[in-house]
Amino acid sequence: MKIRVNMLSIADAVEGQGVGSAYLELVNLLKEEAYHSIDLTINESGYFDINHIHTIEPMNFYKIKMHKGANIMAVHFLPHTLEGSIDLPKFIFAGLKHYVMDFYKSADYLVVVNPIFIKDLMQLGIPESRIKYIPNYVSKQKFFAFDSDKRDAMRAKYDIGKDDFVVIGVGQVTMGKGVIDFVEVAKQCPQVKFLWCGGFSFGAITDGYHELKEVMENHPENVKFLGIIPREDMNEIYNVSDVLFMPSYNELFPMAILEACNLNKPLLLRNLDLYENILFDSYLKADNNEAFAKVICDLRQNPDFYKQAMDYSAKISTYYSKEYVLKQWLDFYRQVYEKSYTDIQSVKVDSEDFDKILSKKKHMLVLESKQYNNSIFIKDQLFSILHRFNKDRVISAKIVDFEEFNYLDEETALSVLIRHQDKLNLSAKDMYKFSKKKDFALLEFGPVVE
């Protein structure tokens, strides 16, 4: 039986965002490797076993509130990590952070890409039992090292010499990404070429927009701002580079790190606690621009040091394999699905209803009071419809709505049944029978599994 997972995201609508890259990588991973166990849809409405939300637009918030299945929210950022990225009036920024937390608290489960943020979410009022750590993943079929001839051709394409030492930075142009530090380090390493891949994804509301724009327009000769590079072209950029330098002040788990590690490119990162548990100390780090510049010079001049840094990246790439990340997602989806089927109620149906359910002509049942008086049906509870032919046929479904009607006269009862006949699909005989009932309930169910 396949688990029905509906991805909700507009993360890929704007290029140059790590959220979009992480989302697309997961979608492709599930489509290519989990088709046997996951029935995946994108941005659909209706009932699913799991809604997996990636972006916080109001429509997705509404879908969380209305969905009767499980809701998983991917935490691509925390409220405090917005600081240094966008510049809004204080009252609007406070409202945005409050909205983000309401969104997260409305989901049944939160998935973080870095375990360090579990504590932050708990301090914001999310129980640890609702938080799961699963890292990002990057395909080795899309990010891989070229041979030397193709690498040289790519360097020529970007006007880079065969023997140039190239340092790249990847990410949106924001204060939080350390773009100004990137340029300051470049000034201390005039023999090295520095390329920044990314632009103003947030436009004029980017924090420090005018200062950053000034830096981009008046940079040293050894610095180039390439703008937003389509993701399908980023493998070329990694191949022409020698080092990935990320002087960010705040991150979760940058996709650029995994992308560069697939090519065994050395990593130079700011010395932040958030990297310790996910990169196993297998990277180069520093705390200030002078130290960054020294590490870059050492990498350029010392082949043994450079080889050691490449081995560090290879270790990271090996750990975050396709098999490792896929297993975590499949196990988690299964756990969420199975947990949602605890304390199942049963309702027997007759042969005629059974056939209508299987042919998708019936989506609602009429229950007499004796069928539900001893059970507590609520909208979020689950149930199985059970019926056997030759002792081996069973169907199951999840409840999506339950409404009880009491003290009905015949005319009112008939009106209720007619109003829902498109989902009930009652025979004339049953329509007449139930119209005589003073009490009954209507039980609506989602997709069935035989």
State the pLDDT at residue 390: 45
Residue entry with tokens 């932040």: 272
Q: How many domains, the chain?
A: 3
Token reading at 90: 């204080």
Q: Note whether 292 and 383 are same-domain residues.
A: no
pLDDT, tens digit, for every residue of 288-315?
999 999 999 999 999 999 999 999 999 9
Query: Which amino acid, residue 93?
Result: F
Q: Measured in whole angstroms, how far is the alpha carbon of residue 79 from the centre of its chain?
A: 16
Q: Residue 85: which of 74, 75, 96 has the closest Cα?
A: 96
CA dist 324 → 24, 137, 265 (Å): 18, 9, 21
Q: Note whether 314 and 184 are same-domain residues.
A: yes
Q: Is 217 exposed, middle or buried (0-12, 13-18, 19+ CB in 10 A)?
A: exposed
Q: Note whether 269 and 161 are same-domain residues.
A: yes
Q: Note whether 155 and 290 are same-domain residues.
A: yes
Residue 288 within any structural domain of the chain = yes
β-strand partners of 385 = 347
Residue 143 within any structural domain of the chain = no
**Domain limits at 246?**
148-319
State the pLDDT at residue 105: 92
Please check whether residue 196 is in contact with residue 226, taking contact to mean a CB–CB distance below 8 angstroms.
yes
Please check whether residue 290 is in contact with residue 188, taking contact to mean a CB–CB distance below 8 angstroms.
yes
Residue 187 within any structural domain of the chain = yes
Cα–Cα dist 42/415, whole Å: 37
Q: Note whether 177 and 303 are same-domain residues.
A: yes
Please check whether residue 255 is in contact with residue 230, taking contact to mean a CB–CB distance below 8 angstroms.
no
Query: Which amino acid, residue 360?
Result: K
β-strand partners of 52 = 7, 72
User: What pTM value is reported for the model?
Assistant: 0.73
Under-70 pLDDT residues of the chain: 1, 13-18, 83-88, 201-202, 341-346, 370-394, 450
Give the number of C-alpha atoms closer than 13 A to the C-alpha of residue 61, restricted to the C-beta side: 10
Q: Note whether 47 and 73 are same-domain residues.
A: yes
CATH for 184: 3.40.50.2000
CA dist 40 → 32, 337, 423 (Å): 11, 14, 25
CATH for 370: 2.30.130.30
State the pLDDT at residue 311: 97
Token reading at 218: 């008046």
Q: Residue 347: which of 361, 362, 368, 332 has the closest Cα?
A: 368
Under DSSP, is residue 396 helix (H, G, I), strand (E, B) or coil? strand
Q: Note whether 290 and 169 are same-domain residues.
A: yes
Residue 142 within any structural domain of the chain = no
Residue 68 within any structural domain of the chain = yes
Q: Note whether 253 and 203 are same-domain residues.
A: yes
Question: Among the three residues 339, 367, 389, which one is the final residue of a domain in this structure?
Answer: 339
Residue 171 within any structural domain of the chain = yes
Residue 409 within any structural domain of the chain = yes
Q: Note whether 395 and 359 are same-domain residues.
A: yes
pLDDT, tens digit, for every residue of 361-419?
999 999 887 666 545 444 445 566 665 554 556 677 777 777 888 888 999 999 999 99
Residue 450 within any structural domain of the chain = no
Q: Note whether 334 and 429 are same-domain residues.
A: no
Q: Note whether 170 and 223 are same-domain residues.
A: yes
Residue entry with tokens 């006007």: 159
Q: Residue 77: which of 174, 165, 151 has the closest Cα?
A: 174
State the pLDDT at residue 15: 62
Q: Note whether 7 and 119 are same-domain residues.
A: yes
